[in-house]
C-alpha cells in the first residue's frame, strides 16, 4: 500500500485476513495513564461475505446490552459500515483472553435471547429493521469458529 493512512484499518490488507477473528487494533493512552483498547471483531470474510442489515442490527443491540454483564469498562461495540464486523473498545483492560471470554458468553446470550432489547421506536433509530433469527445465525457462525478467533492472517 502506497500511502500510510490515518485510519489503522485502512492500512490493513483485507485480502490477507482470515475471518472470523478478534484483533487488537491499537491502544490509546490518555494523559492520566488510562488506556483504551480497540479491537476489530471480524465476523465475515471481507469482500466474500457480510451480515445482512436486520440481523446485524439485532446482534448489535444484543451484544451492546449483554456484553456489559460479562466484563466491565466496555466503551462501545459498534458495527463496521462494510457489515463484516464490529469495533469493540474497552477501558483499562489489557486482557485479550478476557475479551474472548466475554464475547463467547455474549454470543451465547444471543442464542438464548427471546427478543431484541430496545427494539422499539423510543429506544432505537430504525426499530422496523431487526431480525432475531438473523442475529442468532450470525452468532452461531461466529461461535462455530471460536478456535480460530486468535488467528488474524491466513498462512
Binding region for Zn ion (CB under 5 A): 124
Shortest Å distance, C-beta 103 to Zn ion: 20
25 or 119: CB nearest Zn ion: 119
- What's the rounded Cα separation, in Å, for the pair 56 and 41? 13
6 or 114: CB nearest Zn ion: 114
Shortest Å distance, C-beta 104 to Zn ion: 24
Shortest Å distance, C-beta 126 to Zn ion: 6
SS3 54: helix
SS3 89: strand
124 or 143: CB nearest Zn ion: 124
46 or 54: CB nearest Zn ion: 54
Shortest Å distance, C-beta 131 to Zn ion: 12
- The residue at minimum Cβ distance from Zn ion is 124
Question: Which sign, positive or negative, has the C-alpha torsion 19, 24, 26, 32?
Answer: positive
Q: How far is CA 85 from CA 57, 102, 110, 115, 155, in A?
A: 12, 16, 16, 22, 21
Instruction: Spell 135-155 as b/e; 16+ CB within 10 A means b.
Output: bbbbbeebbeeeeebebbeee
Shortest Å distance, C-beta 96 to Zn ion: 28
- What's the rounded Cα separation, in Å, for the pair 148 and 129? 30
75 or 154: CB nearest Zn ion: 75
Amino acid at each position: 500500500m502506497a500511502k500510510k493512512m490515518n485510519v489503522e484499518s485502512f492500512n490493513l490488507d483485507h485480502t490477507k485476513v482470515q475471518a472470523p477473528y478478534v484483533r487488537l487494533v491499537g491502544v490509546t493512552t490518555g494523559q492520566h495513564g488510562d488506556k483504551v483498547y480497540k479491537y476489530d471483531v471480524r465476523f465475515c470474510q471481507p469482500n466474500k461475505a457480510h451480515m445482512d442489515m436486520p440481523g446485524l442490527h439485532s446482534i448489535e443491540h444484543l451484544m451492546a446490552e449483554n456484553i456489559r454483564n460479562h466484563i466491565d469498562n466496555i466503551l462501545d461495540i459498534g458495527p463496521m459500515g462494510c457489515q463484516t464486523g464490529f469495533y469493540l473498545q474497552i477501558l483499562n483492560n489489557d486482557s485479550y483472553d478476557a475479551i474472548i471470554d466475554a464475547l463467547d458468553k455474549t454470543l451465547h446470550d444471543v442464542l438464548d435471547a427471546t427478543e431484541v432489547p430496545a427494539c422499539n421506536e423510543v429506544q432505537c433509530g430504525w426499530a422496523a429493521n431487526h431480525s432475531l433469527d438473523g442475529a442468532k445465525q450470525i452468532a452461531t457462525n461466529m461461535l462455530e469458529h471460536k478456535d480460530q478467533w486468535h488467528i488474524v492472517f491466513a498462512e
